[in-house]
Amino acid sequence: MTVLLLAETHQGRLATDAVARTLSALAPLGEVHVLVAAGDGAEAAREAASLKGVAKVLLAEGESLRHGLAEPAAALVASLASEYRHIAAPATAFARNILPRVAALLNVMVLSDVIAVHGADSFDRPVYAGNAVQTVESTDPVVVLTVRTSVFGAVGRQEPAPVETVAAVADPGLSVWIEDAAVVSERPELASARIVVSGGRGVGSKENFDAIIRLADKMGAAVGASRAAVDLGYAPNDWQVGQTGKVVAPDLYLAVGISGAIQHLAGMKDSKVIVAINKDEDAPIFKVADYALVGDLFSIVPELMGKL
């Protein structure tokens, strides 16, 4: 049976890490064809073709596919679906927008955030913000799923697979792109960074949050924040780690001034090593931390900067 993987692209560039991790999740399901749907996707298609496990790349190019709008992308995926037993994508904002619509067009359910693949119809996925894990069996003829990339490793490279062009479907003209206000950053992407440094309510102000950012930059890390820090305006929402933000699982997660609300823990508890710095020695974050340092972050963070 063959799997169709909808690749994530941004301005014609492949989100290689997310696609490579999704490929390793899908490996038990059979041959994988990757669909690159973009305005100009030739470069992304070549990149995808060289990822291990890809049997073929389907390249669909068209104006309506340039900005990831859901309606033309979902119509395209649905038009190709009859050849496939599984339709998958990384569980990012891009695919979460598109795949449930695809599932509805095919009259099947969608499985979001799959964290384990047991067989063609059997998967694990977290519910209640990761406070429970469900094993579910699909009874649908086509299984549509998104994969939580942070729990899978990335596949390696291979000799490039063939790239085949497919026609984009007619643009239904239901929505138009107006603008992207992308945050240009030299820092690693939060969802795939090896190290994440996060700040919480204890950081105290937007100005103080600069110290968290400097520490992250010094460590070559991505910057994260708790929901409290985001709600208080210390950090932008797309830095939010937790149930209502991003789920991360880096090698090292450094939580500074974060108490460890259930909703935050749900987003980072799968990190390999967790370090917590907090002045409250009863903070719940210490229950999940591998290394706990009780003390004033305003003296600890500068000292840490100096010693790294």
Partner 1 sequence: MKILVPVKRVVDYNVKVRVRTDGSGVELANVKMSMNPFDEIAVEEAVRLKERGVASEIVVVSIGVQQAKDTLRTALAMGADRAILVDATSDVNRDIEPLAVARLLSRIVEAERPDLVIAGKQAIDNDMNATGQMLAGLLGWGQATFASKIEIADGRAVVTREVDGGLQTIGVKLPAVVTVDLRLNEPRYVSLPSIMKAKKKPLEDRTAAELDVDVTPRLKIVRTVEPAQRVAGVRVASVDELVDKLKTQAGVL
Minimum CB distance to partner 1 smaller for 156 or for 172: 172
Binding to partner 1 (CB under 8 A) within 255-274 occurs at: 262-263, 269, 272-274
242 is in an annotated binding site: yes
192 is in an annotated binding site: no
Binding to partner 1 (CB under 8 A) within 154-173 occurs at: 172-173
With CB under 8 A as the contact rule, the residue among 176, 186, 207, 282 that binds partner 1 is 176
How far apart (Å, rounded) are the C-alpha atoms in residues 163 and 107?
Answer: 29
Binding track over 280-299 against partner 1, x by CB under 8 A: ------xxxxxxxxx-----
235 is in an annotated binding site: no
243 is in an annotated binding site: yes
Contact status: 252 vs partner 1 (CB under 8 A): yes
158 is in an annotated binding site: no
With CB under 8 A as the contact rule, the residue among 103, 117, 169, 223 that binds partner 1 is 103
Minimum CB distance to partner 1 smaller for 163 or for 275: 275
With CB under 8 A as the contact rule, the residue among 40, 63, 137, 296 that binds partner 1 is 137
Q: Where are the strands (E) in 189-295, listed by range?
A: 195-199, 222-225, 252-256, 273-278, 291-294
How far apart (Å, rounded) are the C-alpha atoms in residues 262 and 203?
Answer: 19
Query: For residues 259 and 283, is the Cβ–Cβ distance under 8 A?
Result: yes
**Which amino acid is it at 101?**
R
Binding to partner 1 (CB under 8 A) within 180-209 occurs at: 180-183, 185, 189, 191, 195
Q: Cβ of residue 153: shortest distance to partner 1, in angstroms? A: 16
DSSP 152: S
- Rounded to a whole number, what is the largest CA-CA distance in the chain? 60
Minimum CB distance to partner 1 smaller for 70 or for 213: 70
The CA-atom distances, in angstroms, between 280 and each of 205, 258, 290 are 18, 10, 16
Number of residues engaging partner 1 in binding (CB under 8 A): 88
Contact status: 300 vs partner 1 (CB under 8 A): yes
Binding to partner 1 (CB under 8 A) within 42-61 occurs at: none
Q: Cβ of residue 158: shortest distance to partner 1, in angstroms? A: 27
Burial of 48 from C-beta contacts in 10 A (0-12 / 13-18 / 19+): buried
73 is in an annotated binding site: no
Helix 93-105 × helix 70-80 angle, to 10°: 50
Minimum CB distance to partner 1 smaller for 160 or for 284: 284
195-201-203-207 Cα dihedral, nearest 10 degrees: 100
Instruction: Dig out the tokens for 186 from the structure.
Output: 């030299």
Burial of 256 from C-beta contacts in 10 A (0-12 / 13-18 / 19+): buried
How far apart (Å, rounded) are the C-alpha atoms in residues 277 and 207?
Answer: 19
Minimum CB distance to partner 1 smaller for 5 or for 111: 111
Q: Hey, how many other C-beta atoms are within 10 angstroms of the C-beta on 74?
A: 23
With CB under 8 A as the contact rule, the residue among 42, 55, 70, 154 that binds partner 1 is 70
Binding to partner 1 (CB under 8 A) within 115-134 occurs at: 122, 126-134
The angle formed by the CA atoms of residues 271, 277 and 280, to the nearest 5 degrees, is: 120
How far apart (Å, rounded) are the C-alpha atoms in residues 211 and 217?
Answer: 10
Contact status: 7 vs partner 1 (CB under 8 A): no
Q: Cβ of residue 114: shortest distance to partner 1, in angstroms? A: 12
Which residues line the annotated binding site for FAD? 201, 226-227, 240-244, 257-264, 278
- Binding residue numbers: 201, 226-227, 240-244, 257-264, 278
